[in-house]
């Protein structure tokens, strides 16, 4: 009771005190809101990307459930279903894969789904309903499209289903369909329970030993589970398994989407840095504002203490004011931040090349809002610590005499300095300049805060500029593209996780025919690939033993990528991984780091082969074979041919398969010889150059072709690479300059705040100086010089630190990408510092004019 | 009975040649219900003495007993609580809290302590000081004399052991000064309040039961009651 009462009185005086200072509240609320905007933007953009990424992984995996037990019998499923701690349990019964010829490229699994499971597995029909009758089926529009059947309820769908070792043929009736997802590992089809029971009765033999045969999947129950909370799924699954009494070998799967292993350390580091920058900048301004407010009110706090308010109560009172201001600032900041995030998200999604898998709608999750609010509030609380302490430590007597910067210990220092100065130096003329310098020294801490706050935005701006300027469009394009245009199957460069779904012979005959008819094409070149391991003779293997297996640098690389075991297995079986490429003249000329002569005429004869190198981790190549040695290449039928090594070289990154193995011992044959040996096949990629005047029309033609004629094909052009580059650059430019802008706003706000309060708090001092003969002009000059000092210190500070940051942080960060070339620059500073100086001189001048509205006598009287 | 007693109270500022001896061995005793005036010129140390008595500052050496309790060794917050329970202040510059109205100002120290306000008592005080019609006004709407009356009411509200007044009429014209001093004296008698008043004005000091004169940090006259 007692406590409650005195809380009330503190609350009352805190609220009344806050309400008494409207204009400064606006500044404080603005500062809190700005900080919140920064946090919310980061959380909204980051949160949306994480959320979307998680959803994309779920779509790929094919379920949103947390985890699942696989291949259960009915008996086992009943045990799981009765578990009371699970939030949701549902299941599907696997029947088989659809093996219609049309579905060869679109893996489609047929199962019976419970309704909940269908929803979790993204295959609940959007049109129509779940299968009820025996012959009813739900399929994705992708599957239907591949089958050449229209999306209409009631159409007949003949399917051939592989159930274990048997095939079942049946004509189903479409009772519903949903939108299929290309990134999913498999398309799904839902059939009735009746059909599932008939075609694939659930076996009674348990598969708990974990060694279930792929030919025994049919009829087994896949239980999908949702736990009450999303954390520690591995542990929860483990506990569940024990509760159910299943052995350790029980086949279970945890949805990767929830495992969160997609975050790498670099990203985490960047995020932490970003949050830290915001906390610091937020701290700087909020702290400064509260600090100044408390100092302005110090006599007031002293008075309160005199009449009996304890330090603790004073601290509570200041803190309460901050809390109430946050109540305004944080919601405003949240709202603005979400809107900013909405605008920024598409920029990031595009630049990070996630647009293929993610849409750009903001995902407003509760934790995004709560997280931003918590971080903002934390910053406010942090900023309050010292002002609270100052208020609580105020001495009732000192407070009455207080003027900023003349604390007891400072005074002692001042005296000491004064004595020393008097001994060492002659008396000098008093100038506005020197007085300004003295005044600045009176409140070092404040100067430090304002200078740091102003410098931060400049340093950031400079760093972003250095980074963005370093991105070199030519080296970006050179690495991206060998020719004006290149065409390949869309899956090739999609970064798809399943290697089997990559099409390596996707450039169609139709396209090549069209290309031949196309006007303005000056040069074309194809590259073919066959994923077939090299045949290595005993003699050659001895060479490899010596050159590769025994090479410590090779072993180092294997150790680093945890592939030592794999390498040893290859060694034991006397084999290697590698592929055979077939290339045209145009590609041969682009091969990198050739050793030996690259003579097309000689190469074309079909007697020669070009071999790639083994790459160590530090980017040095070790030759598998040397020019002049003989190697053997075989085709799928087992036919072998021997070739002499013409040269050693690398395939440019953009031409190749863009995946890496343990050795990558690749053989390169001329186009004709390749096709002769391997049999006719379509190229993996086709490159072509056009005349300069044809670039635009060709671009339009390609775009149309890849969009309408054959959507399976994807093209890359100089223009599209340039656009991609611009997007990447834009992300840094927009995000960086936005952050720099907000920081600059904070810095300037801080400066204005500092300047205004310093003028206000010295009103009487100025009046006194005017009274003894300092002219208004001199006074104004002195104030402008004071502002100038801030600008000067900021300039020095930002140039020095920017330089260090540029060398120590920006350069290593930029060097991570191959198209970055570091140049030292302080150009943004050179442009911004005069601007800053102008503001620094202007603000005091305005303050002075404002102050001068009252006469000297009036101002002096206010002293009392 | 002595409610206030000091023993060889000293307060020095600075060291060496520039040392200032604001108080240099003060022995003082104040009896329950007494109205004491401390007189001295500017710089004599009288304000420092008041600060020591009220627990606003700590002595360099010596002791201050209030209700037989030594306050010179108390910690900051303990001193603060001591102040709001045992001491009522009336300052030259009123020192009212501008954001609170008259009534809130009066009961503020009591409420800070978390205590129930003794309404009957406070109403009597308000009546004696003639503030009944001003209770909801903000302090900035009051004249100097009225503000000082509020300050006196505030000082009395917590029924302090001692009321300390530091030049209570320093900012007032002569008519208001008369009013305020009269009220101070009347309330002191009515509520049996011990009062220590500091002033440089001999005439004002005459109102007190006893006068102590202080010069260069020492009592030159009237230290012991029977002197």
pLDDT tens across A17-65, in order?
Answer: 888 777 778 888 988 998 898 889 888 888 887 777 777 778 777 888 8
In sequence order, the 6+-apart residues with CB closer than 8 A to the CB of A433 are A782, A785
Torsion on CA atoms A102, A103, A104, A110, rounded to nearest 10 = -150
In sequence order, the 6+-apart residues with CB closer than 8 A to the CB of A768 are A860
For Cα atoms A662, A664, A665, give the angle at the middle one, nearest 5 degrees: 125
- Distance, in Å, from the CA atom of A665 to the CA atom of A323, rounded to the nearest integer, reads 66
SS3 readout for A483-519: CCEEEEECCCCCCCCCHHHCCCCCCCHHHHHHHHHCC
SS3 readout for A146-199: HHCCCCCCCCEEEEEEEECCEEEEEEEEEEEEECCCCCCCCEEEEECHHHHHHH
Q: Do B100 and A19 touch (CB under 8 A)?
A: no
Using a CB-CB cut-off of 8 Å, the residues of chain B touching A310 are 76-77, 80-81, 112
Q: Do B97 and A313 touch (CB under 8 A)?
A: no
- Distance, in Å, from the CA atom of A472 to the CA atom of B50, rounded to the nearest integer, reads 76
The whole-number pLDDT of residue B37 equals: 92
Mutate which: B91, B97, B151, B156, vs A, most A CBs within 10 A: B97
Cβ-based interface (< 8 Å): residues of A facing B:
2-3, 5-6, 8-10, 12-13, 16-17, 19-20, 300, 303-313, 393, 395-397
| Residue B28, token pair as written in the block | 């003082």
Task: Specify the pairing of strand B194-199 against strand B35-39.
Answer: parallel
Interface check for B86 against chain A (CB to CB < 8 A): the answer is no
Using a CB-CB cut-off of 8 Å, the residues of chain B touching A20 are 98-99
Using a CB-CB cut-off of 8 Å, the residues of chain A touching B111 are 5-6, 8-9
**Which B residues, 90 through 119, put their C-beta within 8 Å of a C-beta on chain A?**
91, 95, 97-100, 104, 108-109, 111-116
Q: Do A310 and B80 touch (CB under 8 A)?
A: yes
**Which of these ranges, A15-24, A350-359, A365-374, has the smallest mean pLDDT?**
A350-359
| pLDDT in single tens digits along all 227 residues of chain B | 789 999 999 988 877 777 888 888 899 999 999 999 999 888 888 888 888 888 888 888 999 999 888 988 888 888 888 888 888 888 888 888 888 889 988 988 888 888 788 889 899 889 888 888 889 888 888 888 899 889 999 988 888 889 999 888 888 888 888 888 888 888 888 888 999 999 888 888 888 999 999 998 898 876 554 43
Q: Do A303 and B95 touch (CB under 8 A)?
A: yes
- Distance, in Å, from the CA atom of A467 to the CA atom of A780, rounded to the nearest integer, reads 41
Using a CB-CB cut-off of 8 Å, the residues of chain A touching B114 are 2-3, 5-6
**CA A11 to chain CA mean position, Å:** 44
What percent of chain A stands above pLDDT 70? 89
Residue A3 pLDDT exceeds 60: no
The whole-number pLDDT of residue A407 equals: 41
Using a CB-CB cut-off of 8 Å, the residues of chain B touching A12 are 100, 104
pTM: 0.67
| Residue A572, token pair as written in the block | 């034991």
CA distance, residue A240 to nearest chain B CA (Å)? 55
Cβ density class B175-213: b for 16+ within 10 Å, e for less: ebbebbbebbbebbeeeebbbbbbbeeeebbebbeebbb
The whole-number pLDDT of residue A410 equals: 41
Mutate which: A9, A10, A307, A395, vs B, most B CBs within 10 A: A307
Between B77, B116, B154, which is nearest A310 by CB?
B77
Using a CB-CB cut-off of 8 Å, the residues of chain B touching A313 are 112
Q: Do A13 and B154 touch (CB under 8 A)?
A: no
| Mean pLDDT over each residue of chain A, to the nearest integer | 81
CA distance, residue A243 to nearest chain B CA (Å)? 56
Backbone φ, ψ for residue A163 (5° rounding): -110, 110
Using a CB-CB cut-off of 8 Å, the residues of chain B touching A6 are 111-114
Q: Which residues pair with A667 in a beta bridge?
A: A580, A611
In sequence order, the 6+-apart residues with CB closer than 8 A to the CB of B176 are B143, B144, B145, B148, B169
DSSP 8-state assignment for residue B40 = -
DSSP 8-state assignment for residue A110 = E
**pLDDT one-digit tens code per residue, A815-846:** 877 788 888 888 888 888 888 889 888 888 88
3-state secondary structure (DSSP) of residue A594 = strand
- Work out the average pLDDT over A207-225: 79
**pLDDT one-digit tens code per residue, A766-775:** 877 777 777 7
Mutate which: B23, B56, B75, B165, vs A, most A CBs within 10 A: B56
Highest averaged pLDDT of the listed ranges A386-395, A568-577, A617-626: A386-395
- Work out the average pLDDT over A689-716: 84
CA distance, residue A359 to nearest chain B CA (Å)? 54
CA distance, residue A467 to nearest chain B CA (Å)? 53
The whole-number pLDDT of residue A854 equals: 62
Q: Check: CB of residue A457 under 8 Å from CB of residue A295.
A: no
CA distance, residue B203 to nearest chain A CA (Å)? 25
**Which of these ranges, A14-23, A558-567, A793-802, B129-138, has the smallest mean pLDDT?**
A558-567
What percent of chain A stands above pLDDT 90? 9
Residue A584 pLDDT exceeds 80: yes
Cβ of A279: how many Cβ atoms within 10 Å? 19
- Work out the average pLDDT over A244-253: 84
**pLDDT one-digit tens code per residue, B156-175:** 888 888 999 988 888 888 88
Q: Do B111 and A312 touch (CB under 8 A)?
A: no
Q: Check: CB of residue A227 under 8 Å from CB of residue A87.
A: yes
- Distance, in Å, from the CA atom of A93 to the CA atom of A113, rounded to the nearest integer, reads 7
CA distance, residue B47 to nearest chain A CA (Å)? 11
**Which of these ranges, A324-338, A404-418, A498-512, A849-863, has the smallest mean pLDDT?**
A404-418
Cβ density class A759-779: b for 16+ within 10 Å, e for less: bebbeeebbebbeeebeeebb
**pLDDT one-digit tens code per residue, A652-670:** 877 877 766 777 888 899 9
Using a CB-CB cut-off of 8 Å, the residues of chain A touching B167 are none
| Residue A269, token pair as written in the block | 């580091």
- Distance, in Å, from the CA atom of A94 to the CA atom of A76, rounded to the nearest integer, reads 15
Cβ density class A368-399: b for 16+ within 10 Å, e for less: bbebbbebbbebbeebbeebbebbbebbbbbb
DSSP 8-state assignment for residue A648 = E
Interface check for B46 against chain A (CB to CB < 8 A): the answer is no
Residue A776 pLDDT exceeds 60: yes
- Work out the average pLDDT over A395-402: 63
The whole-number pLDDT of residue A214 equals: 66
In sequence order, the 6+-apart residues with CB closer than 8 A to the CB of A749 are A27, A30, A31, A34, A285
Interface confidence (ipTM) of the complex = 0.82
Torsion on CA atoms A476, A479, A483, A485, rounded to nearest 10 = -70
Element (H, E) at A612: none
Between A6, A304, A306, which is nearest B111 by CB?
A6
- Which residue has tokens 């809130």? B104
Mutate which: A308, A390, A411, A863, vs B, most B CBs within 10 A: A308
Using a CB-CB cut-off of 8 Å, the residues of chain A touching B104 are 12
The whole-number pLDDT of residue A420 equals: 43
The whole-number pLDDT of residue A105 equals: 67
- Work out the average pLDDT over A474-478: 79
Element (H, E) at A54: helix A22-61
Using a CB-CB cut-off of 8 Å, the residues of chain B touching A395 are 57
Closest by Cα among B17, B3, B33 to B195 = B33
Using a CB-CB cut-off of 8 Å, the residues of chain A touching B113 are 6, 308
Q: Do A308 and B81 touch (CB under 8 A)?
A: yes
- Work out the average pLDDT over A521-538: 84
Q: Check: CB of residue B155 under 8 Å from CB of residue B121.
A: no
- Which residue has tokens 């003779």? A537
| Residue A781, token pair as written in the block | 């000059």
Interface check for B210 against chain A (CB to CB < 8 A): the answer is no
Task: Specify the pairing of strand A667-670 against strand A608-611.
Answer: antiparallel
The whole-number pLDDT of residue A381 equals: 92
- Distance, in Å, from the CA atom of B185 to the CA atom of B165, rounded to the nearest integer, reads 12
Backbone φ, ψ for residue A687 (5° rounding): -115, 145
Between B91, B97, B113, which is nearest A304 by CB?
B97
Q: How many CA atoms lie within 13 A of A745 on its CB side?
A: 16
**Integer angstrom CA distances of residue A69 from A72, A714, B53, B139:** 7, 39, 80, 76
Using a CB-CB cut-off of 8 Å, the residues of chain A touching B85 are 308
The whole-number pLDDT of residue B15 equals: 79
Residue A373 pLDDT exceeds 90: yes
Between A6, A12, A393, which is nearest B113 by CB?
A6
Torsion on CA atoms A178, A184, A185, A189, rounded to nearest 10 = -10
Supply the Cα-derived Rg of chain B in whole angstroms: 17
More confident residue, A477 or B27: B27
Q: Do A16 and B81 touch (CB under 8 A)?
A: no
CA distance, residue B81 to nearest chain A CA (Å)? 6
The whole-number pLDDT of residue A762 equals: 78
């Amino acid at each position: 009771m007692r406590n409650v009462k005195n809380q009330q009185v503190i609350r009352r005086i805190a609220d009344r005190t806050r309400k008494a200072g409207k204009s400064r509240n606006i500044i404080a609320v603005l500062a809190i809101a700005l900080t919140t905007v920064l946090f919310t933007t980061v959380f909204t953009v980051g949160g949306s990307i994480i959320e979307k990424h998680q959803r994309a992984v779920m779509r790929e995996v094919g379920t949103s459930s947390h985890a699942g037990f696989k291949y259960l019998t009915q008996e086992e499923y009943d045990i799981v279903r009765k578990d009371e701690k699970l939030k949701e349990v549902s299941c599907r019964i696997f029947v088989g894969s659809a093996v219609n010829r049309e579905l060869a490229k679109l893996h489609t699994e047929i199962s019976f789904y419970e309704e909940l499971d269908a929803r979790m597995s993204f295959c609940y029909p959007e049109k129509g309903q779940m299968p009820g009758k025996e012959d009813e089926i739900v399929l994705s529009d992708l599957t239907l499209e591949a089958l050449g059947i229209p999306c209409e309820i009631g159409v007949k769908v003949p399917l051939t289903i592989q159930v274990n070792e048997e095939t079942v043929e049946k004509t189903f009736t479409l009772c519903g369909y949903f939108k299929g997802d290309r990134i999913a590992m498999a398309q799904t089809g839902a059939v009735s329970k009746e059909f599932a029971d008939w075609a694939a009765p659930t076996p009674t033999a348990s598969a708990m030993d974990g060694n279930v045969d792929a030919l025994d999947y049919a009829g087994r129950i896949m239980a999908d589970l949702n736990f009450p909370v999303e954390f520690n799924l591995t542990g929860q699954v483990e506990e569940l398994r024990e509760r159910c009494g299943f052995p350790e070998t029980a086949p279970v799967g945890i949805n990767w989407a929830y495992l969160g292993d997609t975050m790498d350390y670099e990203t985490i580091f960047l995020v932490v840095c970003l949050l830290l920058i915001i906390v610091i900048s937020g701290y700087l301004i909020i702290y400064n504002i509260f600090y100044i407010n408390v100092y302005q009110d110090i006599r007031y706090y002293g008075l309160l203490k005199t009449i009996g308010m304890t330090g603790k109560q004073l601290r509570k009172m200041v803190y309460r004011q901050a809390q109430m201001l946050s109540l305004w600032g944080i919601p405003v900041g949240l709202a603005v931040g979400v809107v900013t995030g909405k605008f920024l998200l598409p920029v990031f999604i595009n630049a990070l090349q996630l647009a293929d898998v993610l849409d750009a709608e903001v995902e407003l999750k509760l934790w995004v809002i709560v997280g931003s609010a918590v971080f903002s509030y934390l910053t406010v609380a942090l900023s309050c610590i010292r002002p609270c302490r100052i208020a609580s430590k105020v001495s009732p007597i000192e407070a009455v005499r207080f003027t900023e910067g003349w604390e007891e210990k400072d005074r002692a220092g001042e005296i000491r300095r004064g004595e020393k100065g008097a001994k060492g130096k002659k008396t000098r003329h008093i100038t506005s300049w020197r007085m300004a310098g003295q005044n600045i020294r009176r409140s070092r801490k404040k100067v430090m805060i304002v200078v740091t706050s102003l410098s931060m935005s400049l340093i950031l701006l400079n760093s972003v500029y250095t980074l963005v300027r370093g991105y070199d469009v030519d080296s970006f394009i050179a690495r991206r593209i060998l020719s004006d245009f290149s065409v390949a199957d869309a899956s090739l460069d999609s970064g798809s996780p399943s290697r089997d779904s990559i099409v390596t012979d996707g450039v169609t005959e139709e396209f090549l025919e069209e290309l031949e008819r196309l006007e303005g094409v000056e040069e074309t070149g194809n590259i073919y690939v066959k994923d077939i391991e090299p045949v290595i003779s005993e003699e050659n293997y001895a060479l490899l033993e010596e050159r590769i297996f025994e090479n410590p640098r090779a072993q180092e690389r294997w150790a680093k990528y945890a592939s030592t075991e794999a390498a040893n297995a290859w060694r034991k079986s006397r084999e290697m991984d590698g592929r055979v490429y077939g290339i045209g003249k145009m590609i041969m000329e682009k091969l990198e780091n050739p050793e030996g002569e690259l003579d097309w005429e000689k190469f074309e004869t079909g007697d020669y082969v070009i071999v790639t190198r083994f790459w160590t981790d530090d980017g040095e190549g070790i030759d598998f074979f040397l020019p002049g040695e003989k190697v053997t290449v075989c085709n799928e039928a087992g036919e072998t041919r021997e070739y002499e090594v013409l040269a050693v070289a690398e395939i440019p990154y953009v031409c190749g398969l863009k995946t890496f193995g343990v050795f990558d011992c690749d053989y390169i044959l001329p186009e004709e010889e390749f096709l002769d040996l391997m049999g006719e096949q379509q190229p993996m990629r086709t490159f072509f150059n056009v005349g300069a005047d044809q670039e635009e029309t060709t671009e339009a033609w390609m775009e149309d072709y890849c969009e309408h004629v054959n959507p399976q094909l994807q093209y890359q052009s100089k223009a599209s690479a340039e656009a991609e580059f611009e997007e990447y650059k834009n992300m840094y430019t927009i995000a960086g300059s936005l952050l720099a802008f907000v920081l600059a706003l904070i810095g300037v706000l801080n400066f204005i705040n500092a300047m205004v309060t310093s003028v206000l708090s010295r009103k009487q001092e100025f009046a006194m100086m005017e009274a003894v003969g300092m002219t208004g002009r001199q006074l104004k000059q002195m104030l402008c010089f004071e502002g100038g000092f801030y600008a000067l210190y900021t300039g020095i500070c930002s140039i020095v630190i920017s330089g260090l940051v540029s060398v120590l942080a920006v350069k290593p960060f930029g060097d991570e990408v191959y198209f970055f070339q570091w140049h030292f620059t302080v150009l943004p500073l050179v442009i911004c510092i005069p601007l800053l100086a102008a503001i620094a001189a202007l603000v005091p001048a305005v303050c002075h004019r404002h102050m001068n509205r009252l006469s000297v006598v009036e101002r002096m009287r206010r002293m009392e | 009975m002595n409610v206030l007693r000091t023993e060889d109270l000293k307060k020095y500022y600075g060291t060496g040649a520039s040392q200032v001896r604001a108080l240099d061995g003060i022995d003082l005793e104040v009896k329950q219900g007494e109205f004491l005036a401390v007189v001295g010129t500017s710089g004599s140390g009288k304000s420092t003495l008041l600060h020591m008595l009220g627990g606003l500052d700590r002595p360099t050496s010596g002791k201050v007993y209030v209700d037989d309790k030594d306050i010179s060794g108390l910690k900051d917050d303990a001193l603060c609580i001591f102040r709001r329970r045992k001491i009522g202040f009336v300052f030259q510059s009123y020192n009212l809290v501008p954001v609170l109205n008259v009534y809130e100002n009066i009961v503020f120290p009591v409420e800070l302590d978390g205590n129930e306000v003794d309404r009957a008592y406070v109403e009597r005080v308000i009546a004696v000081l003639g503030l009944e019609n001003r209770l909801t006004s903000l302090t900035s709407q009051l004249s100097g004399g009225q503000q000082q009356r509020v300050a006196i009411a505030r000082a009395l509200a917590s029924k302090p052991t001692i009321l300390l007044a530091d030049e209570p009429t320093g900012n007032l014209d002569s008519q208001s000064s008369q009013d305020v001093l009269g009220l101070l004296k009347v309330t002191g008698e009515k509520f049996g309040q011990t009062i220590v008043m500091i002033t440089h004005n001999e005439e004002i000091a005459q109102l007190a039961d006893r006068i102590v004169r202080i010069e260069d940090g020492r009592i030159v006259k009237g230290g012991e009651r029977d002197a």
